[in-house]
Each structure stands twice: as C-alpha cells, then as structure tokens.
Amino acid sequence: MCVTNCGVSTSSPFLRTQQRCCETMRDLNGRLAGFIEKVHQLELHNGLLDKEIQEIKGRTKPSVEEQYGPELRTLRELVLDISHQKHQMEIGLQNLEEELSGLRRRFVEEAQRRSDAERTIQTLQKDMGEAFQAKLQLDQRAQCLMDEMHSLKIHQEAQVSEMLDQIQSSAEEVSMHRLVRLDITDALQDIRAQLEDHTCQQVGGHSFPSQFTKLTEAAKTKGEVLRAIQQEIQGYRRQVQTLDVEVVSSKATGEALEKQLHDVEDRHMMEILQCQVRLPFYLQFTSVIIPLLSGDRTEYQDLLNVKMALDVEILSYRYYQYHSTNPIIHLASLNLSCLQRMSTKSSLLDIMYCMYNV
C-alpha cells in the first residue's frame, strides 16, 4: 500500500524519508505481485503434473500387472525349487560328513582294540614261556630223583646179594669138612674146628641179625625216602600236567586272539579300502557340489534382487494409486531415516522397507 503526505515541504528531511519509504513500499508491492504470480504458475504446473501422473498410472498399471505377474510367480516357484535343492544338498553333505566322522571313530576304536589284543598276546606268550621253563625245570628235577632212586635200588640189591653169597659160602665150607675128615684126629680136630666154627657162627649169628636188622631198617628208611620221592615226583607230574593244561589253554586262547586279531585286521583293511574307494567320490562330489551351490546361491540372489525390484515397482504403483490426491505432499512426507538408509544403502530391501513404512 502506498502512503503519501502532501502537506509536508519537499525540502525537509522528513519528506525525503517519506519518499524513500514510498519507493520501498512500491518495490515490495511489485515483488509480492511477482511471488503471487509464481505461486499461481506453480499451482497450475502442479495440477498438470497431477493429471499426468494420473494418466500414467491409469495407463501403465494394468499392463505392468499383466506383464510381470506370471514372471513373478515363475520366479517365486524357481526360488522355492532352488531353495529346496540347496537344502537337500546341504543335508546330503551333512550326512556324508557324519558318515566320514563315524568311519574315523570306528578306525580309532579298531586301532585301540588291535593294540589291546597285541598286548594280551604278548602277555600270554610271556606266560607260556615262563610255564615252559618251569616245566623243563620240573622235568630235570624229576629225572634227577629217578636217577637217584635207581642208584639206591642198585646199591641195595648189591648189598643183599653180597650177604647171600657170604651165607652160602659158609654153609658149603661146613659140609666139605664133614665129608673129608674121617679119622679120630681128624674127627677131634673136626670137632674142635666145629666147636670153633660153632663159636664163630654164634658170634657171626649175633652179628648177622644185627646187620640184617640194620639193612632192613636202612631198606625201610630208603623205601620211605623212595615213597616220598615218588610222591614228590607224582606231585611234580601233576604240576607238569596242570602246566601242560595251562599251556594248551594259553595256546588256544592265543590262537583265538590271533584269529580275532586277523579278523579285526581284515575287517579294518576292508573298511579302509571302502573308505579309500569312497573318499575320492566324496571329495569329487564336494568339489562339484560346492561350485554348484555357490552358483545356485548367486542365481538365487539375482532372482531375489529381480523379485525385490519388481515388488518395489509394484509398491510404487500402489503408492501412487493410494496417494493420488496430493502425491507431491505425500512424497515429501517420507521418513528422514528411510531416506538416509536409501542414500547410504542402495539395496532394494531398504527401498521396500521405506515404501512399506510410507
């Protein structure tokens, strides 16, 4: 609004001030009119843009849904199939790893059993050697006792035969003296000799029973010693038989353990061969399946990105449909945090998140 004061002199400072104020007000009025004109132009342009958006939305929405709907369904089915195949491959790989770990555990257990069997066999062999040495010692001792008993028996038989020879020789001498000496002198001498012989025989008779008694006692003592030796020999024989039985049982146990060890070794070798046969297949399978899994994963990620891009496009069209009254104001009402996420992370998932939040 222009304000003037005509009653004041033009030469005064107040008049000049009023003129400057009037010029300023005219300038402000002109600028305000220009701003109002620009606002009208922007409103008109906004209306044109709104009409253009409505036309584009009405023209492209059915075609987009008809065009991308089957492809989206196909992509979703393909993603599900790839996920299922990936899950099956992971399960197969996990089963193979479990089987390999089980084979390794069985290998360790068989090695432990083999070492235990070898230690048991060594202990049995040592016990068998000790039993064999004890048997040899007992056999040697029994042989010594048998030799001693045989020598004692021979010595006793020699003493008995010597005593019988002495008795027989004395009886023959008496009979010969009776037949040869027939005359009186000879008879007297014979009688004297007989008396002397009788006296000698009496003396010898007294000594012979004592010797016979001593020999009998010695024979009894030696017989008792022989019986004790025989009993000891029988005890040694029983011990030898027991040791023989133990040796036989130890041999049987050793043979059974050796057979078991051979069976374990054979089974272990068969399992090792099977593992060696399977291991290259497993390694080849893993070397083939890992690139396939990585390729499937990449393809899955690409398909997921395509799906997300299509979902974003569909959401954008839905957004324009739901906010068709004033799209510029609604677009300006996006959350600042969503815009920051879209600017820092250009992934499609963030864009979808922002669109859903809107």
Report the pLDDT value the prediction gives residue 157, as an integer from 0 to 100: 74
Is the residue at 111 inside a domain?
yes
What is the domain extent for residue 85? 61-322
Is the residue at 80 inside a domain?
yes
- Stretch 217-231: mean pLDDT: 75
Which tokens belong to 309?
């891009």
Report the pLDDT value the prediction gives residue 167, as an integer from 0 to 100: 65
Is the residue at 357 inside a domain?
no
- Counts for the chain of helices (H) and strands (E), in that order: 5, 0
Report the pLDDT value the prediction gives residue 344, as an integer from 0 to 100: 39
147 versus 6: which is more confidently predicted? Answer: 147
Is the residue at 42 inside a domain?
no
- DSSP type of residue 333: T
pLDDT per residue as tens digits for the range 327-340: 444 443 444 444 44
Residue-wise burial string across 265-303, b where 16 or more C-beta atoms lie within 10 A, e elsewhere: eeebeeeeeebeeeeeeeeeeeeebeeebeebeeebeeb
C-alpha–C-alpha distance, residues 336 and 267, integer Å: 71
* pTM to 2 decimal places: 0.33
Which tokens belong to 35?
């701003």
What is the C-alpha radius of gyration for the chain, rounded to an integer number of angstroms?
A: 67
Q: Which of the four pLDDT bands, split at 50, 70 and 90, describes residue 84?
A: confident
Report the pLDDT value the prediction gives residue 346, as an integer from 0 to 100: 41
Is the residue at 49 inside a domain?
no
238 versus 331: which is more confidently predicted? Answer: 238
pLDDT at 149 over 80: no
Is the residue at 56 inside a domain?
no
Q: For the chain, how many structural domains are there in total?
A: 1
Which tokens belong to 320?
């324009």
Q: Which of the four pLDDT bands, split at 50, 70 and 90, describes residue 303?
A: confident
Report the pLDDT value the prediction gives residue 95, as an integer from 0 to 100: 82
- Stretch 140-145: mean pLDDT: 78
Q: Which of the four pLDDT bands, split at 50, 70 and 90, describes residue 118?
A: confident
Is the residue at 346 inside a domain?
no
Is the residue at 113 inside a domain?
yes
Report the pLDDT value the prediction gives residue 188, as an integer from 0 to 100: 60
- Stretch 14-41: mean pLDDT: 76
